[in-house]
Chains A and B, each alone.
Chain A
Amino acid sequence: MPESAKGDPVVRLRGVSKKFPGVVAVDGVDLEILPGEVHVIAGENGAGKSTLMKLLSQVERPTEGTIEVSGEPVEFHGPRYAQGLGVAMVHQEFALASHLSVAENLFLGREPMRFGLVDRRTMRRRAEELLRKVGLQTDPDKLVSTLSVAGQQRVEIAKAVDGEPKVVIMDEPTATLAEKEIEDLFAVIRDLTSRGIAILYISHRLDEIFRISDRVTVMRDGKVVDTLPTRELDEEKLVRLMVGREVGNLYPKPEVEIGEVVLRASGISRGTVLEDCSFEVRAGEILGFAGLVGAGRTELARAVFGADRRDSGTVEIDGKEVRLKNPQQGIDAGIGYLTEDRKGEGLALELGIDKNITLASLPMTGGFISLDRERRTANRRREELNIRTPSVRRKVRVLSGGNQQKVVVAKWLETRGRVLFFDEPARGIDVGAKAEMFGLIGDLASQGRAIVLISSYLPELLNMCDRILVMREGRVAGEIERPEFSEERVVALATGAREVGAA
């Protein structure tokens, strides 16, 4: 693969900077992108990766420096102009009109016209061609809303590759994909690069960087730290470059005495989503939920917590059955659920850190909120969890992902939850913040809390958990104890590739 990257750079940045009032987001960046290479931009949140992509795709105008495409300096005329030059962008959040068809989306704003009307036949034909290029087998007349997330992303890519671009920018393209879909996406990427198209790729997931990239450019504080061929890197070195210091163990798992069963769920079923799921988790134990996206891990957690209704099944806390029909009852029973979608479901972004922390457990005195106790609580949690902010009154919106996640944790600690479900706690946060988050999860376990960790990234589960429960198609496919942990075992159970034993 690396050999396919040859020739003159398709894009060259010289001394490119972007200053916002009070912030230098991108600082004097020099960068060359070669035809047919997969070039990863790595760095922590706020390192300037996204801004750099916006400069390239002309969403933002650089304050200094020049950008060259195919050796020619380019002027700034906005995203559509950039696409005309051959710089296309696949957005992290898909910018598709879900109520329009695939073909209509592909040609939105540039529909092929005939006699002043949209030429639907041509549109359909060209849509079919484009879809074939990106390996999406679907009827172009289907509504976008009926496609899977991976399918929608493929439509975005098809949109980007129309007109044979020189560079396609992909911003965290795998964030919402399942393992199999990631493989498919990589196949598409390889196909594009074989045709000489360069891929500029942003990712937080280290394993992917090594799987797909030819070269890596590491950014920190808006500057380029280094550009290296991927084969000269290993995980440790890459993390060190990104963070700027030694990170130590990413998954600090403490030795914990495992106690009594705290929560036992039996026969949980819900529609076609969950079927007769049972599990138990003990004090001090970290239980992992593994499985493909859509296997029912989140659904099981939500059903146990009381966020979604259940058709059947019981939940026991300390051996006593509890009524769980809504989140309030879940909280009262001592269960906490940290959602996978932090911004969408976990935080009130417009409210302060203090108010988010106390949201599920307002300190009341004589019928009124005690603002004094609220502030003290928030400050205590800020210290304890190392939430980096000058004031707990700041809006949660302005915090980094890692700090936002800590606010969510603080909220659930305030409810005195004894069983905590962490749903993808490391998603979208920095490497440094990840290590901190897993350290925290380890601490909570050593304090005797029962932890359920849901993750799509196997190394997290294999390193942190005492036991892994694997789900497949809404059922519990099997359980693996720590001594028997291996990636193959989990994947086999998750995919049903080969039936293990009497399962």
Chain B
Amino acid sequence: MSAATTREGTSGGLRERLSGVVSQLAAAGALIVVFVFLSFASPVFLTTDNLFNIGTQTAVVAVIAIGMTLVIITAGIDLSVGSVAALSGVLGVTLMVNAGLPPIVGIAGGILVGATCGLVNGLLVSFAGLNPFIATLGMLTVARGLVFITTGAVAVFGAPESFRLLGQGRIGPIPIPIIVILVVAVLGYVVLSRTKLGRYAYAMGSNPEAARLSGIPIKRYLTSVYVISGALAGLGGMIAASRVNSGQPNYGVGLELDVIAAAVIGGASLFGGQGTILGTLIGAFLIALIRNGAVLLNVDIFYQSVIIGVVIWIAVFWDQYRRRRLASASE
């Protein structure tokens, strides 16, 4: 047979799985390198307290990035997560303060607010046919506006002490935010690999027309994806609010960029069809490690941004390079 098929016959699925691991390793490798480096460079780094601290600090980004991964897999984007997180935070806290509801209901309320914003995003994208960039850009400013309208640009204080648990509490020795990351990640993994929603997300992102002709009700599933992203932004917003035990109207400006960076560093492709939960978590932790290391080593905060930007370039470049090589080898 042809040269290409001979190659298929010899190299097989093993090569593919290996290259899958390698691509994970690009980000994972960087994570390990940074980790080992910081262990030596700073005496404080490798302490339980500091590591838990990193986990706690990255919880918001990691949780929201899991939703973002789902959106990016469909070849979409959700720019509104920062504003939505803020809106959820202030409204969730307001529920506790003004209506005197218990924290658990306040948190659920915050998540519901996020899901509602996500629903609007989803309807705009799938039924009104707006480009995801535009639809969620609109939501970014709408949600931020609603934050200021509802709060009068004043932070909402007075939530019950027990609300602090979500962002600051522990179960045994482990901070609750870290447990939240794990739970959301496991759920995200199951959704992506074992449910119709996850499978159809990949299919829609890879080829929407093929998905439609295969009988997939695209609009419904696409809408659901944005609802999930919004709900997780809401959860992230509640975690952030709990950490300061208040609803902050200015919270989350630019948060979407960290979230997208985490997903993209973790191998999610903005062209859709590609992305994993594990990769996104690695991306989120890599960013958190760099931030933490910079603080420990007393690196100017402005350099952090530069470093993270460069990491994005390298990660995505590596990813594309790998894909191009795979593609040219198969022709």
Contact = CB atoms under 8 A, between A and B. Distances in A.
A369 to B, nearest CB: 5
B5 A400 contact: yes
A222 B196 contact: no
A286 to B, nearest CB: 22
Interface stretch (B61-69, B256-264, B305-313, B322-330): B322-330
Contacts of A480: none
Contact of B206 (A327, A351, A391): A351
Nearest to A412: B214
Interface string B1-37: 1111111110111001100000000000000000000
Q: Tell me whether chain B's interface is mostly helix, strand or loop, or mixed.
A: helix
Interface string A173-204: 00000000000000000000000000000000
A307 B213 contact: yes
B245 to A, nearest CB: 38
B196 A23 contact: no
B201 to A, nearest CB: 11
A22 B213 contact: no
A393 B213 CA distance: 22
Contact of A391 (B12, B193, B199, B211): B12
Contacts of B272: 350
A445 B209 CA distance: 27
B3 A359 contact: no
A394 B199 contact: no
Contacts of B226: none
B3 A221 contact: yes
Interface string A64-100: 0000000000000000000000000000000000000
B273 A348 contact: yes
A23 B210 contact: no
A355 B196 CA distance: 11
Interface in B155-210: 190, 193-196, 199, 202-203, 205-207, 209-210
Interface string A381-402: 0000000111101110111100
B208 to A, nearest CB: 9
Contacts of B7: 22-23
Contacts of B102: none
Contacts of B273: 348, 350-351
Size band of the B side of the interface? Answer: 35 or more
A388 B202 contact: no
A20 interface: yes
A307 B11 CA distance: 39
B12 A390 contact: yes
B194 A347 contact: no
B152 interface: no
A20 B329 contact: yes
B3 A48 contact: yes
A385 to B, nearest CB: 16
B274 A327 contact: no
A314 B2 CA distance: 46
A458 B70 CA distance: 46
A328 B274 contact: no
A399 B9 CA distance: 11
Interface stretch (A261-269, A273-281, A337-345, A469-477): A337-345
A368 interface: yes
A345 B207 CA distance: 7
Nearest to B202: A351
A395 B214 contact: no
Interface string A310-340: 0000000000000000111011100001010
A348 B215 contact: no
Contacts of A220: 2
A347 B207 contact: yes
A327 B2 contact: no
Given A344-B209, A391-B13, A394-B13, A355 B199 contact: yes
Contact of B330 (A44, A393, A398, A411): A398
Contact of A390 (B8, B212, B331): B8
B210 A371 contact: no
Given A22-B329, A394-B13, A346 B210 contact: yes
A327 B5 contact: no
B100 interface: no
Given A337-B213, A371-B194, A394-B16, A22 B2 contact: no
A225 interface: no
B217 interface: yes
Interface string A16-31: 0000111111000000
Nearest to A24: B3
A319 to B, nearest CB: 23
Contacts of B194: 368-369, 371
Contacts of A332: 215
Contacts of A24: 3
Contact of A411 (B13, B16, B214): B214
Contacts of B193: 369, 371
26 contacts: A22-B11, A22-B329, A45-B2, A45-B4, A46-B3, A220-B2, A221-B1, A337-B213, A345-B207, A345-B210, A346-B213, A347-B210, A348-B202, A349-B207, A350-B205, A351-B273, A355-B199, A355-B202, A359-B199, A360-B216, A388-B5, A393-B17, A394-B16, A400-B4, A400-B5, A411-B214
Given A344-B207, A411-B214, 16 more contacts: A21-B329, A222-B3, A307-B212, A344-B209, A350-B202, A351-B203, A351-B206, A355-B199, A359-B199, A362-B196, A369-B199, A388-B5, A390-B8, A395-B16, A397-B330, A400-B5
Q: Which 6 pairs, one residue from A and one from B, show the smallest C-beta to C-beta distance?
A: A46-B2, A391-B13, A390-B12, A348-B206, A350-B273, A398-B330
Interface of B: 1-9, 11-13, 16-17, 190, 193-196, 199, 202-203, 205-207, 209-217, 272-274, 325-331
